[in-house]
Structure 1
Amino acid sequence: MPHIVVLGAGITGLSAALRIQAEGHAVTIVARDFPSGSETIDGSQINYTSPWGGAHNRLVPPTNPAEEREHAMSLRTFDHMRAVHARYPEAGITFMKGVEYLEAPSEAYRGLSEERARALGMQGFRVLGKGELPQGVEWGCEYDTWCVNPMVYCSFLLRKFAIQGGKVLRKEVRDPKEIFSWTFDAGPVDVLVNASGNGFGDENMFITRGQTCLVANSCPVTVTRQNADGSWTFCVPRNFDGGTIIGGTKEPNNWDPNPSLEVRETLLRKFAATYPQILGREGKFTVIRDIVGRRPTRKGGMRLEKETAEGGKQIIHAYGLGGRGYELSWGVAEGVARLLVEHLGASSQQQIPQVRDAKL
């Protein structure tokens, strides 16, 4: 039985590990950080991105081949989330409406109709009327989507992985190639899946700082507003008693780990103007905490490919998804599984089982 090591226990690593496990392989996850509750995780784990992620699915109409590839992955993930939600209500997944507001919509959005949305695989799509739009917004829509409470969901994935025989090792890695020399109970490493996020020397990688605010206020929808100046205003409900995340900053190459009170006030003010219903009867936010996260981002998009390292060692790279880790997670996991089949010498005609067979 081949032994596969997955480096990284973020959303990409956890999804890939479960997907590979479904193929009958022995799998070990090696990581410095593993999922834990939001009550205990702290700023010292700022580089462990998944707990801080937006963790929801947005409608992004594709306009080029790279975006079309990602769109296909998002649809695959949507189907998987639907199946898991139906079977495991405790997994931390919630299906709800997603609302998009655009101050300066592109032609890709302006051209969206119910017919076009159906062709893109989107469900429950509706263009909003002028009377439903906040001040300053030119175009809006709603559609069926999902979001997750990342601490609940990632812990669920790890628990499933372990109960199905997967092994975990908490250890910091300086170079992925060193893992090939380690001793594991499951035997030598046949293939390493690099889902570490940071790329280990990939010159195309950079971090994007994001500051958000967790509030106790509940919200029945996800809301994303694209402002004309390029900034964002959004909320992602955490559900499962997790409150609601209010955001949106995107600051490339900013390593500052400290949240700004001024930024918090701006985020809350802008979102209240966009979606005043969130303020509830009391007419105010109840702030729980400020959050700063670092999204590993890659120029040119994600890296999903095989590499033959020194000594013929095989590495499958799966990282650099930026802020789309959750919404592309199972599409990427399936891509990893296909690359693994190719390496292990399976016929190019072999059908990869669907994610619904991944023992979830």
Structure 2
Amino acid sequence: MSDIIVIGAGVIGLSAALRLQQAGHSVTIIAKDFPTPFEAADKRALINYTSQWGGAHNRWVLPTNPAEQREHEFSLTTYRHMEATLREFPEAGITFMKGIEYFENPPPVHRDLTVEKALQLGLEEFKLLEKKDFPDDKVAWGCEYKTWCVNPMVYCSFLLRHFHILGGKAMAMELRNLNEAFLVKAVPGVKLVVNCSGQGFNDPAVFPTRGQTCLVANPCPATVTRQNADGSWSFCVPRNFHGGTIIGGTKEPDNWDPEPSPETRARLLSAFAATYPPIVADGPLQPLGDIVGRRPTRRGGIRLEREEIAADEIKGLQDNEARSIVHAYGLGGRGFELSWGVAEEVFELVKQRVSSRL
């Protein structure tokens, strides 16, 4: 099998590296940032390492077009993988629990959703909520289902350890461009690179979507999401394994501001306590820290394809053989949800490339 470099140690890079490793490839991860415990992480220095700060749960996005259907299939693949991983590795940082959703102004795809349709889409333990279950009169639609969430520091560290135990190599290095990966002396002659860099190396279609959340000590037995009529969101994602609960959140395209806003924190905490009163049943919310992250979003959606690079385009190569790059980046805030579906697609693209060279 081939020597492969995976660029990026976020959830997409780690998942893709493991999937390729399972297929027998020799894989090296090159990344600027790697998983770090929350207590020791420099939030400002790691602001672009999105997986560190992700809410990290599965919220079903009901498909209305082919692109969304493809992503839904990725979500289902990830869901099944999380189930299997939890059975084999209970320490991996994965928890299955109830997911609750509220909409003030639900789109047609939600209004038309029935239990039968939900089951066809793969939603387990789906239930439409009644008006008496809503937190207030502004909510017009709600549902619940079985879902998963992860503590991202625990989970990503688990993936990296698992990769290492299986023989993978990791190098802390910041690349200036993609072609540099083909010239890394520690992996001589590499012909294939997987670009899981998040932001895609100066791809003009990529932009940051700033998110601010707050970590609180209060536990929560469910992941809860509310979309308000003005398009804003209120949500919580439990980080079990002594990780507290994330309360969010904002979605601010093209906002590079690294500083958390105290006013935003107050608004987020107040809104969620009103949406889900059980979280404050034993006392007020206990903030542990504000989090600001930059979701690597891409106009036109995920880039998931293989690109062939002529040898003369890579200065410094010692041979004339073309190289290949498999791109897998630009997932915005859905990296964890789609991770193993994307990893499987990366594997297929690599397999096609290897087969074409035989």
Does TM, normalized by the shorter one, top 0.5?
yes
CA-to-aligned-CA distance 1:127-159 (integer Å, 9 cap, x gap): 001100011100000000000000000000000
Q: How far 1:183 moved relative to its partner? A: 1.2
2:184 equivalent among 177, 182, 185: 182
Residue 355 of structure 1 corresponds to which residue in structure 2? none
CA-to-aligned-CA distance 1:141-181 (integer Å, 9 cap, x gap): 00000000000000000000000000010001110111111
Matched, 1:260 2:261: yes
Matches within 5 A, 1:28-107: 28-43=28-43, 44-107=45-108
For 1:244 and 1:96, locate their aligned partners in 2 and report how far apart those are by CA, in whole Å: 14
CA-to-aligned-CA distance 1:290-310 (integer Å, 9 cap, x gap): 000000000111000001123
Matched, 1:164 2:174: no
For 1:281 and 1:36, locate their aligned partners in 2 and report how far apart those are by CA, in whole Å: 31
CA-to-aligned-CA distance 1:47-99 (integer Å, 9 cap, x gap): 11101011100121100000000000000000000000111110000000000
Q: How far 1:346 moved relative to its partner? A: 6.0
What SS does structure 2 have at the residue aligned with 1:285?
A: coil
Matched, 1:215 2:216: yes
For 1:205 and 1:61, locate their aligned partners in 2 and report how far apart those are by CA, in whole Å: 24
Letter of the 2:207 partner, please give it. Answer: F
For 1:49 and 1:212, locate their aligned partners in 2 and report how far apart those are by CA, in whole Å: 13
Q: How far 1:187 moved relative to its partner? A: 3.7
For 2:282 and 2:17, locate their aligned partners in 1 and report how far apart those are by CA, in whole Å: 45
Letter of the 1:325 partner, please give it. Answer: G
For 2:232 and 2:219, locate their aligned partners in 1 and report how far apart those are by CA, in whole Å: 23
For 1:132 and 1:163, locate their aligned partners in 2 and report how far apart those are by CA, in whole Å: 47
Query: Given the two structures, how large is their TM-score scaled by the length of structure 2?
Result: 0.95
> Number of residues paired by the alignment?
346
Letter of the 1:241 partner, please give it. Answer: H
Letter of the 1:48 partner, please give it. Answer: Y
1:326 equivalent among 318, 336, 342: 336
For 2:163 and 2:282, locate their aligned partners in 1 and report how far apart those are by CA, in whole Å: 43
CA-to-aligned-CA distance 1:264-306 (integer Å, 9 cap, x gap): 0000010011001101322x11010000000000011100000
CA-to-aligned-CA distance 1:321-359 (integer Å, 9 cap, x gap): 000000000000000000001001169xxxxxxxxxxxx
Residue 308 of structure 2 corresponds to which residue in structure 1? 308
Residue 351 of structure 1 corresponds to which residue in structure 2? none
Residue 273 of structure 1 corresponds to which residue in structure 2? 274
Residue 353 of structure 1 corresponds to which residue in structure 2? none
Residue 134 of structure 2 corresponds to which residue in structure 1? 133
Residue 315 of structure 2 corresponds to which residue in structure 1? none
Runs of 4+ residues deviating >3 angstroms: none
Residue 316 of structure 2 corresponds to which residue in structure 1? none
For 1:305 and 1:149, locate their aligned partners in 2 and report how far apart those are by CA, in whole Å: 29
